[in-house]
Amino acid sequence: MTTPTSAGGPPVDAEAGAGVLLPGADSATSGAAVPIGARGSGQLADVWRRFRRNRLAMVGLAIVTVLILLAIIGPYVTPYNAFEQNLANTLKPPSAEHWFGTDVLGRDLFSGIIYGCRLAITVGLLTVAFSLLIGITLGAVAGFKGGAWDGVVARFIDVFLAFPPLVGAIVIVRAVGGGVTPVIVALVVLGWMTTARLTRGQVLALREAEYVEAARSIGAGNRRIVLRHILPNAIAPVLVYSFTSIGVVVVAMASLSYLGIGVPPDVPEWGRLISQATPFLRVPGMTYLWLAPALAIAITTLGFAFVADGMRDSLDPKLRGGN
Amino acid sequence: MAPTSPRPSRRRQAAQPTQSDHLLEVRDLRVHFDTAGGAVKAVDGVSWYVDSGETLAIVGESGSGKSVSAMTLLGLVPSPPATFPSGQVLLEGRSLLDMPESQQRKLRGSDLAMIFQDPLTALNPVFRVGDQIAEMIRAHQSVGKMAAKTRAVELLAEVGIPDPRLRATQYPHEFSGGMRQRAMIAMALANDPKVLIADEPTTALDVTVQAQIMALLEKLQAERDTAIVLITHDLGLVAAHADRIMVMYAGHVVEEGTNDEIFTAPRHAYTHGLLSSLTRMDHARPEKLEPIPGQPPNLARVPEGCPFHPRCRFATDACRADVPLLVAAAPGSSHRHACVHPDEVAIAHERPREPAPVVAAETPVEQRPPMLDVRDLVKHFPIRVGTFVKRTVGEVRAVDGVSLDIPAGSTLSLVGESGCGKSTAARAILRLHEPTSGTIELAGRDVTGLSLHDLRTARADMQIVFQDPYASLNPRMTVRQILTEKYELLGGELTDSTIPELLETVGLAAEYADRYPHEFSGGQRQRVGIARAIALNPKFVVLDEPVSALDVSIQAQVLNLLEELQQEFGLTYLFIAHDLSVVRHISDRVAVMYLGGIVEIADRDTLFEHPQHPYTQALISAVPIPDPAVERVRDRIVLTGDVPNPANPPSGCRFRTRCWKHLQLSDDEKRRCIEEPPALVPAAGSERHEVACHFAGEREVLRG
């Protein structure tokens, strides 16, 4: 670069650079002998191969797997009934019988955390799944159709983003009624917008892609173009975002429960467990009471974030890396 | 013994002699990149020099290392991942790489300056152009702010930017491509460099603008005695502008010599191969292209011995054994080559090339019924403003009344600068863009009136091959899926042997069917694109710049394939191109477009040998011919300015604002150009030659 002010990355000659300056990118431009992994093994195998190379992502995947397993089999393997109160045995510090101690009502905290996990994972996955469904549909329609469709969806997104999320959630849960379902409804209603926006942007850009025009030139209709040509190429960043947002949903639900909204008071939900520990926050030796649920939330959030990070890199077919 | 460098080398064990008789000399430069796939030897033992007032051209295909070797001089190659196992750069005898970083930086941008291919990314978008140039001056000279700004305006004037005082206060996006490249040149010249490195300086520009920029560089070189290192893949440009040439292949120098030596008496098989695979605009009888087989090697796995041997038809065991060293072509000559078989190459190069095979057609092309008949095609894009309620405030007249017909089994080329509407016209013909008005008949059937449903089935007859083989294939589909989709949609018979046969037809191995597009090279991808187009035997295929994104040696392969397919299946082509050399090779008839309309149309040889329209003449004259003997005597018409905005075209003749002939007319004649739009009428001499100019007339532009 001849000027210090404009020194960005090294300017790469579109031709020579492709094969040369980017490490690992063995240039399709010049690449005669493109190193090729398992032939015909499909793209999932490729994605998995790239994912495996990211150590943090593998840690995240382990965490997520354990969490999901716990959510499924948890209630059958807990040492105690997570709901069973024992007023004679309250606020006991961790011991051999009660690994994480017992809470104000004498419930086994370890069993509570495991039960809470089922709740967190269920709400997290369902919320994100519904958000994806709504977000991708609206985003794809807005991006592909453009014009008035786009205008309407964009205003819709703006309106929903204008709600203060916490207040909005409280209002919705109160309006729908107590329990877990209203929480999911509230979190979906307040959470689909980013997915829609991301999808819309991707679709808008890919709509002009030359391979879309190529598909049209062989007679493909709109439906096929969107489903086969645009969405598969648009979806990667949306999925990555969704995975990160599972952690956000878990935190959001915990916040609501902390405030006493949604999940019934007797359910050992993580936010609820922290809430009941609040009076003992400054009591020496009582740290265990809030530390366990807090760590559970943190680990869950991090686990999904790590996986999302690994997905970001592995979903890009162009980043193949060396063998 | 030469004096050793003043500081102990940081890169090498032993200090090397640093004396040099040249302005800039590079010795034994190696640049390697450590990657997961192994060491990529981008530059592997390259030496060259350049003197004041001289132009050295470094020529090569993608991945030959031509850019990396020059970028290393300017410290633009990041390390890591790059390593520099050996090499010395001497600027006026001082060793650049042995200097402390701060001193190197001082020389870069003052004594050594660079012009890049893409001036949009090389200029900073958030600063005014004048301020960027002024900053460049102040980084290397102690001058005041005001003085630097004044100098910046002077520099802009010097590189031919009209109204420089105003232009200096504008941002890069307000400049056209050609103007940006001029601004880049002004910036490079800010500190009066001794050496100017121009890396593909005109690749992103139209030929007419390329001619402007190259003329400017030559003028500045003559005034300032600057040394220019021209890095390019374009052999025509080299023939027209270089004094000496260095040919690179896979990180090695394979041949170097004067312009004439390289073009008339190449001694390396690769140089010979490149020249034989070129299409030439000035050859009346098209010669058969002899492409170099295969592709350039992956730099992480450069073949043992001569890197070119796997693609070389002269290769013997000796070629596979050791890397050949550069040797003089004759004792004492500066023409050097690294080929084991220089004599065979010399003989092969002397031998006249085979003429292209002529198929004895039953009926001459012009008497065949038209496969495609387009009448008064118009495509206007409305310009709309407003968020909710859209108002149409004007229209971009991309295609404004185009009529043409293409006889079955022949090729019509549509040429013109970018923005002339040629691609839009092609897409409107295929109804990929809905035409605003006009009729399109394909094999006698009107496709303009077809309903969307009928249009879909009609698509089987009219297909398109796209320009960019990287963008036109869905990255998430395998080749098999891409090709199968067409059968699913258009209902052709698909058996187990269909896809393998199709791949074979376009020269790809059948086992490639399950690979994804990114696993192919550019040329191979283009073959997949062609396979998709010719599946189900279409009658008519639009070729939208099908080879312009490919390397020279690969271009010839694809062109030959397209010609073979045309003969085998009797295809009718509409070839969209800006590269007139390719057009001369492949077309039967050529139409020249300017700002949405056809200005001249004629049979191929008539158009190139006897062009009548001043624009056609300017276009042909701007294309450099890869033959220094021809280039020396050719007269180049340099058009001023850029293509006007098609939303607001000039009155009367649309070309008059840039027309060289218009300037020579009397006032009365000029008024006619301004007031009366010229119609496309038969030119003197031939019925099949039509031209839209009030003052059409011949001018020799092809040869001297």
| Secondary-structure class of domain B365-594 per CATH | alpha beta
Read off the pTM: 0.83
In a domain, A46, yes or no: no
Instruction: Flag whether pLDDT at B583 surpasses 60.
Output: yes
CB < 8 Å to B300, chain A: 26
Q: How far apart are CA A78 and CA A64, in angstroms?
A: 19
CB < 8 Å to A220, chain B: 485, 489
Alpha-helical (H) ranges within B614-654 are 614-622, 628-633
CB < 8 Å to B477, chain A: 228
Note the pLDDT of residue B501.
Answer: 92
Confidence label for B101 from pLDDT (cuts 50, 70 and 90): confident
- The percentage of chain A sitting over the pLDDT mark of 70, rounded to a whole number, equals 84
- Closest-CA distance, B562 to chain A, in angstroms, reads 18
Q: How far apart are CA B448 and CA B438, in angstroms?
A: 8
The helix (H) or strand (E) run that includes residue B212 is: helix B207-224
Confidence label for B484 from pLDDT (cuts 50, 70 and 90): very high
Note the pLDDT of residue A23.
Answer: 32
Confidence label for B589 from pLDDT (cuts 50, 70 and 90): very high
Alpha-helical (H) ranges within B491-539 are 498-505, 522-534
CB < 8 Å to B514, chain A: 39-40
Instruction: Flag whether pLDDT at A22 surpasses 50.
Output: no
Looking at residue B47, what DSSP letter applies?
E
Instruction: Flag whether pLDDT at B521 surpasses 60.
Output: yes
Out of B33, B68, B81, the one facing A16 most closely (by C-beta) is B68
User: Is the CB of B63 less than 8 angstroms away from the CB of A210?
Assistant: no
Q: How far apart are CA B16 and CA B10, in angstroms?
A: 12
- Closest-CA distance, A151 to chain B, in angstroms, reads 7
Structural domain boundaries enclosing A305: 62-85+97-315
Note the pLDDT of residue A317.
Answer: 59
Average pLDDT value over all residues in chain B:
87
In a domain, A47, yes or no: no
Contact predicate A267/A119, CB 8 Å: yes
Note the pLDDT of residue B252.
Answer: 92
Note the pLDDT of residue B96.
Answer: 82
Please name every residue paired with B593 in a beta bridge, in sequence order, or none if there are none. B598
Confidence label for B73 from pLDDT (cuts 50, 70 and 90): confident
Place of tokens 């949009």: B120
In a domain, A50, yes or no: no
- Residue B481 φ then ψ, to 5°: -65, -40
Nearest to B488 by CA among A203, A231, A218: A218
User: Is the CB of B299 less than 8 angstroms away from the CB of A229?
Assistant: no
Place of tokens 């001289």: B54
Mean pLDDT of B59-84: 83
In a domain, A31, yes or no: no
CB < 8 Å to B432, chain A: 213, 216-217
Looking at residue B81, what DSSP letter applies?
T
Out of B35, B135, B475, the one facing A5 most closely (by C-beta) is B135
Q: What's the pLDDT tens digit per position in B312-371?
A: 989 888 898 888 988 888 888 889 999 999 988 888 888 876 666 565 555 676 678 899
User: Is the CB of A219 less than 8 angstroms away from the CB of B460?
Assistant: yes
Instruction: Flag whether pLDDT at A68 surpasses 90.
Output: yes
In a domain, A10, yes or no: no
DSSP 3-state of B126:
coil
Out of B115, B188, B459, the one facing A219 most closely (by C-beta) is B459
Note the pLDDT of residue A248.
Answer: 92
Nearest to B20 by CA among B7, B32, B35, B2: B2
User: Is the CB of A321 less than 8 angstroms away from the CB of B42?
Assistant: no
The region, left, alpha or beta by phi > 0 then psi within -120 to 50, assigned to residue B371 is alpha
Q: How far apart are CA A225 and CA A215, in angstroms?
A: 7
Note the pLDDT of residue A8.
Answer: 35
Alpha-helical (H) ranges within chain A are 16-20, 42-52, 55-77, 109-145, 147-162, 165-176, 180-189, 193-206, 210-217, 222-224, 231-258, 270-277, 288-314
Q: What's the pLDDT tens digit per position in A89-122?
A: 877 888 888 888 888 888 888 888 999 999 999 9
Confidence label for A13 from pLDDT (cuts 50, 70 and 90): very low
Q: Does A5 touch chain B (CB under 8 A)?
A: yes
In a domain, A300, yes or no: yes
Q: How far apart are CA B290 and CA B278, in angstroms?
A: 8
Best interface-test mutation with A: which of B485, B490, B520, B524 has the largest number of A CBs within 10 A?
B485
Q: Does A221 touch chain B (CB under 8 A)?
A: yes
**Residue scoring higher pLDDT (B268 or B208):** B268
User: Is the CB of B135 less than 8 angstroms away from the CB of A28?
Assistant: no
Nearest CA in chain A to B542: A217
Note the pLDDT of residue B357.
Answer: 59
User: Is the CB of B485 less than 8 angstroms away from the CB of A29?
Assistant: no
Out of A4, A232, A321, the one facing B139 most closely (by C-beta) is A4
Note the pLDDT of residue A37.
Answer: 37
Confidence label for B394 from pLDDT (cuts 50, 70 and 90): confident
User: Is the CB of B472 less than 8 angstroms away from the CB of A213?
Assistant: yes
Instruction: Flag whether pLDDT at B568 surpasses 70.
Output: yes
Q: What is the number of CB-based contacts under 8 A between chain A and chain B?
A: 221
User: Is the CB of A219 less than 8 angstroms away from the CB of B122?
Assistant: no
DSSP 3-state of A176:
helix
Q: Which of A37-41, B17-21, B98-102, B120-124 has the lowest average pLDDT?
A: A37-41
Note the pLDDT of residue B692.
Answer: 94
CB < 8 Å to B472, chain A: 210-211, 213-214
Length in residues, chain B: 704
Interface of A with B in 144-163 (CB under 8 A): 151
Tell me whether strands B445-446 and B437-442 are parallel, antiparallel or unpaired: antiparallel
User: Is the CB of A15 less than 8 angstroms away from the CB of B521?
Assistant: no
Q: How far apart are CA B604 and CA B198, in angstroms?
A: 34
Mean pLDDT of A192-205: 94
Confidence label for B100 from pLDDT (cuts 50, 70 and 90): confident
- Closest-CA distance, B106 to chain A, in angstroms, reads 11
**Residue scoring higher pLDDT (B387 or B498):** B498
Q: What is the ipTM of this complex?
A: 0.80
Mean pLDDT of A209-226: 92
Contact predicate A262/A140, CB 8 Å: no
Confidence label for A160 from pLDDT (cuts 50, 70 and 90): very high
Q: What's the pLDDT tens digit per position in B102-129?
A: 888 888 878 888 888 776 677 888 889 9
Number of domains, chain A: 1
CB < 8 Å to A322, chain B: 35-38
Instruction: Flag whether pLDDT at A198 surpasses 90.
Output: yes
Sheet with B112-115, side-by-side order of all strands: B112-115, B195-199, B227-232, B55-59, B244-249, B252-258, B336-337, B327-328
Confidence label for A320 from pLDDT (cuts 50, 70 and 90): very low
CATH code of the domain in which A186 resides: 1.10.3720.10
Note the pLDDT of residue B3.
Answer: 41
Note the pLDDT of residue B119.
Answer: 66
Q: Does A20 touch chain B (CB under 8 A)?
A: yes
Confidence label for A31 from pLDDT (cuts 50, 70 and 90): very low
Best interface-test mutation with A: which of B234, B442, B519 has the largest number of A CBs within 10 A?
B519
Instruction: Flag whether pLDDT at B254 surpasses 90.
Output: yes
CB < 8 Å to B490, chain A: 218-219
Cβ density class B349-358: b for 16+ within 10 Å, e for less: beeeeeeeee
CB < 8 Å to B62, chain A: 15-16, 18-19, 27, 29-30
User: Is the CB of A219 less than 8 angstroms away from the CB of B489?
Assistant: yes
Average pLDDT value over all residues in chain A:
81
- Domain layout of chain B by residue ranges: 24-120+194-350, 121-192, 365-594, 605-703
CB < 8 Å to B553, chain A: none
Instruction: Flag whether pLDDT at A35 surpasses 80.
Output: no
Contact predicate B246/B65, CB 8 Å: no
User: Is the CB of B77 less than 8 angstroms away from the CB of A10?
Assistant: yes
Instruction: Flag whether pLDDT at B94 surpasses 90.
Output: no
Q: Which of B173-187, B461-475, B498-512 has the lowest average pLDDT?
A: B173-187
Mean pLDDT of B164-175: 88
- Closest-CA distance, A76 to chain B, in angstroms, reads 42
Q: What is the DSSP string of B233-254?
A: S-HHHHHHH-SEEEEEETTEEE
Confidence label for A42 from pLDDT (cuts 50, 70 and 90): low
- Closest-CA distance, A12 to chain B, in angstroms, reads 9
- Closest-CA distance, B77 to chain A, in angstroms, reads 7
CATH superfamily of B24-120+194-350: P-loop containing nucleotide triphosphate hydrolases (3.40.50.300)
